[in-house]
Amino acid sequence: LVVQSLALGIDRFKERIVDILKAILEKDGINIRGVYERSDAKVRKNEGLPRIKGFIGNEFDTNVQIVENGVKYYVDVKEGQKTGFFLDQKYNRQSIRKLCRDAKVLDCFTHTGSFALNAGQAGAKSVLGLDASELGVEQARKNAELNGLSDTVKFECADVFDKLPELEKAGEKFDVVILDPPAFTKSRNSIKNAVKGYREINLRGMKLVKDGGFLATCSCSHFMDYDLFTKTIAQAASNVHKRLRQVEFRTQAPDHPILWAANESYYLKFYIFQVCDEK
């Protein structure tokens, strides 16, 4: 298990919660090898809590293998982002598979390759995954090898904001472009800059989609709410003279519930559009 506690109230019951989780899973016949804590987020300082990272109980190999949507991954629960893997996009990754057979796919902000590998396993002709983290790209390449996709799914360490204009200048076009960026804003004070960032990558992404191809785009910041994100995508489309046909709108997986009494729990917005040139 990988656990993260960010608030004082939860922290006081942490060991009790871990015991309950272990008991529930072991009752279902799942053997728990160990528990690793990733309570190393800066936000703990707001509650007067130290940043903690390490084993709770017995030690184990922190490079673990998981399977999601039939795709195998190596997950580094010690050094990976947050708890090592972003499970909230599970069904969104699954949703792009139907678009990717025999397609040329570009996956931006690929992290450890999850969208790219789903595209590859769905039968994509070629996939290029981009990420600014060398650690993430190295992990993504290992994951491609693990799934026997190294010949089809390639990864490059690059800043997406720099790489997309380069691809455009080179005349590259893709059947499917996927944008899964980190949260460009984690406070209300930086929303204006975040809007510029989301508009820029969506604008660039649309320009790289073949006429009639598809754009999958998302935001994982609750400060970038549904209305603002939707408006920003519309502005990007208008700026590059593209018409959008909405194919699908999704949020986070149901095990990351949206609580109507807590607005910040509705954070992930995920669109799939068909992108056409204005005639």
Tell me which residues are annotated as active site.
Answer: 220
What proportions of the chain, in percent to the nearest 5, are helix, strand and coil? Answer: 40, 25, 35
Query: What strands, in cross-sheet order, belong to the sheet with 35-39?
Result: 2-3, 35-39, 52-56
Tell which phi-psi region holds residue 52, choosing left (phi > 0), alpha (psi between -120 and 50) or beta.
Answer: beta
* Interatomic CA distance for residues 204 and 135, integer angstroms: 25
Q: Which helix (H) or strand (E) holds 145?
A: helix 134-146
Phi and psi dihedrals of 2, rounded to 5?
A: -120, 125
User: Among residues 130, 129, 124, which one has the least CA distance to residue 99?
Assistant: 124
* Interatomic CA distance for residues 186 and 139, integer angstroms: 26
